[in-house]
């Protein structure tokens, strides 16, 4: 049984465990699929390898509490169950009512673990992910977070946009801090109106300046949360998840809105419309920086409180579905402290997901490699973060980040000129390879947790192009040579190394 385990900023590390005569499972009761185990399992036979042997894969099109279990009985027959976690879950059906359970996906391949992965990738790229940006080139962005955190105004963002345009970057994303009186993480979630002390003239004025520089515009949003220090909470404390007699837990100075309450969902639709309805926004980052606790609702009777976690997810899906239909041309990237809700439920609504809050290249290599067991690179948002003053370091970060939808997170106004000079060349190279990464077939060769390095390649349909990557994650392997077997290379064909020109 192959699973991926982890925690915040260290998601999706591979784990392969023999399936004994017992029940083995992965699960979440966090109200989201969670950082601890991604909701999929791969089940190869004992002698199955990456490219040969029988293999099954199971995953869940859902973003809430789940349970995936495998029971190996005394006849060595294995039963796999995928569904909503029964812990703390009940649902009351009146006569004539219907309950629609989330869907699961089962995949089989006789071509090993890689065969299952590639089948998953094709299925999800073409039959699950939606929106106009699914099949076309997405704009390459720079996010303001690691450049400015909360400390920005319209002049600084306009300067970012002007500099970004000279480097070949195509979109500026304004992250947390643009609304209410938000200058740190302690206030204003829920007050989704522009802070005009920061953005003088409002959102439309800033977007005009960004567009004038030649860039598209994106914005960060965390609709499922509320700060106790906010106008929304002061008006409606009953709109939060809470349990009578218990103290509501704060995490990151915030509480969770009761998305099972229709009034909350309608309020958020109205907020979206007021803030985004009349301005040309091209991208939204939909964040969720804490999971659920004190899971109770003031708007359901006591006997239906165990319905709250699932009703919460139905409310989130309704809001996402409304947003998708109301703003069909906007790219949606979802996030939950990075990979805390990286699942197929979210992929039904957004083209990509922020893979992890950790962008350090060695660790990111492990996270991205594990994610590819089930998810295509086209769904992974991967950024080059600040490399310091070493130009070689930005090349390393870029070599990792290109194995997804590339972006940047750094202060391009202050970064070293030698580092800055590498960015246009990196973008040019990425655009050359992007069609293989986004739509090609992935073949894994070396697993980083086991080898101290990662090796994998993408190929197009007729194998006329192959993009091979070797990423070293540990110093101990730098003097080791590897012979990498490229099974999709056509026998007798001559391939040209585009970097060196060698055949």
Catalytic site residues?
Answer: 287, 357
CA atoms within 13 A on the CB side of 454: 25
179 DSSP assignment = B
CA 296 – CA 314 distance, rounded (Å): 15
Q: What angle do CA 383, 3, 44 make, to 5 degrees?
A: 120
Do residues 365 and 448 make contact, with C-beta atoms less than 8 angstroms apart? Answer: yes
Q: How many C-beta atoms lie closer than 10 Å to residue 21's C-beta?
A: 10
Cβ contact 188:176 at 8 Å: no
C-alpha–C-alpha distance, residues 41 and 8, integer Å? 20
User: Which residues are CB-contacts of 118 (< 8 A; sequence separation ≥ 6)?
Assistant: 109, 441, 442
Question: What is the C-alpha to C-alpha distance for residues 436 and 462, in angstroms, rounded to an integer?
Answer: 12
Give dist(CA 261, CA 311) in Å, integer.
8
Instruction: Show the tokens assigned to 475.
Output: 């110093």
What's 380-422 look like in SS3?
EEEEEECCCCCHHHHHHHHHHHCCCEEEEECCCCCCCHHHHHH
DSSP string for 121-141 = HHHHHHHT--STTSSSPPPPE
Give the number of C-alpha atoms closer than 13 A to the C-alpha of residue 183, restricted to the C-beta side: 4
Cα→Cα distances 431→138, 168, 269, 434, Å: 10, 11, 36, 5
Query: What is d(CA 262, CA 268) in angstroms, rounded to the nearest whole number?
Result: 10
Backbone angles phi, psi at 469, to 5 degrees: -125, 135
Decide: 16 and 2 in contact? Cβ < 8 Å.
yes
Helix (H) or strand (E) holding 233: helix 231-235
Q: C-alpha angle 43/46/50, rounded to 5°?
A: 65
Closest CA to 163 of 448, 482, 410: 410
If one counts every other C-beta atom within 10 angstroms of the C-beta of residue 248, the result is: 15
Enter the tokens of residue 150.
């909360």
The DSSP call for residue 490 is P
Q: How far is CA 221 from the centre of its chain?
A: 15
């Amino acid at each position: 049984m192959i699973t991926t385990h982890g925690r915040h900023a260290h998601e999706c590390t591979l784990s392969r465990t023999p399936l004994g005569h017992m029940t083995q499972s992965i699960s979440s009761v966090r109200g989201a699929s969670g950082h601890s185990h991604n909701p999929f399992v791969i089940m190869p036979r004992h002698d199955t390898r990456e490219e040969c042997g029988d293999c099954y894969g199971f995953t869940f099109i859902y973003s809430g509490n789940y349970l995936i279990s495998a029971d190996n009985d005394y006849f060595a027959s294995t039963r796999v169950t995928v569904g909503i976690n029964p812990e703390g879950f009940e649902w009351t059906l009146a006569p004539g009512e219907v309950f629609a359970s989330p869907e699961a996906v089962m995949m089989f391949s006789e071509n090993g673990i890689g065969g299952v992965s590639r089948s998953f990738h094709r299925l999800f790229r073409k039959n699950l992910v939606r929106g106009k940006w699914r099949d076309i080139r997405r704009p390459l962005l720079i996010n303001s977070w690691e450049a400015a955190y909360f400390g920005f105004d319209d002049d600084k963002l306009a300067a970012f946009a002007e500099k970004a345009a000279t480097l070949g970057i195509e979109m500026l994303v304004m992250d947390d801090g643009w609304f209410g009186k938000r200058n740190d993480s302690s206030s204003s979630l829920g007050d989704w109106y522009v802070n005009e002390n920061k953005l003088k003239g409002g959102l439309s004025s800033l977007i005009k300046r960004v567009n004038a520089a030649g860039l598209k515009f994106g914005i960060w949003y965390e609709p499922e949360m509320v700060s106790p220090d906010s106008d929304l909470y002061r008006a409606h404390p009953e709109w939060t998840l809470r349990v009578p007699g218990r103290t509501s837990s704060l995490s990151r100075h915030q509480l969770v809105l009761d998305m099972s309450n229709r009034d909350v969902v309608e309020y958020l639709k109205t907020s979206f419309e007021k803030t985004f309805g009349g301005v040309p926004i091209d991208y939204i980052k939909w964040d969720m920086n804490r999971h659920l606790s004190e899971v109770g609702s003031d708007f359901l009777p006591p006997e239906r409180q165990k319905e709250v976690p699932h009703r919460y997810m139905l409310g989130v899906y309704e809001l996402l579905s409304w947003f998708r239909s109301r703003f069909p041309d906007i790219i949606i990237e979802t996030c939950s402290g990075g990979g805390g809700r990286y699942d197929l439920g979210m992929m039904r609504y957004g083209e990509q997901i922020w893979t992890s809050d950790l962008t350090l290249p060695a660790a990111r290599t492990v996270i991205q490699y594990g994610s590819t067991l089930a998810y295509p690179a086209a769904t992974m948002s991967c950024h080059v973060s600040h490399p310091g003053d070493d130009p070689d370091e930005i090349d390393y970060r870029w070599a990792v980040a290109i194995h997804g939808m590339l972006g940047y997170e750094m202060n391009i106004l202050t970064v070293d000129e030698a580092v800055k000079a590498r960015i246009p060349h990196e973008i040019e190279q990425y655009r050359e390879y992007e069609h293989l990464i986004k739509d090609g077939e992935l073949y894994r060769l070396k697993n980083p947790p086991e080898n101290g390095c990662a090796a994998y390649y993408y190929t197009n349909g007729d194998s006329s192009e192959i993009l091979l990557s070797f990423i070293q994650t540990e110093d101990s392997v730098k003097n080791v040579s590897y012979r990498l077997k490229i099974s999709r290379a056509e026998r007798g064909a001559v391939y040209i190394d585009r970097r060196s020109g060698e055949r």
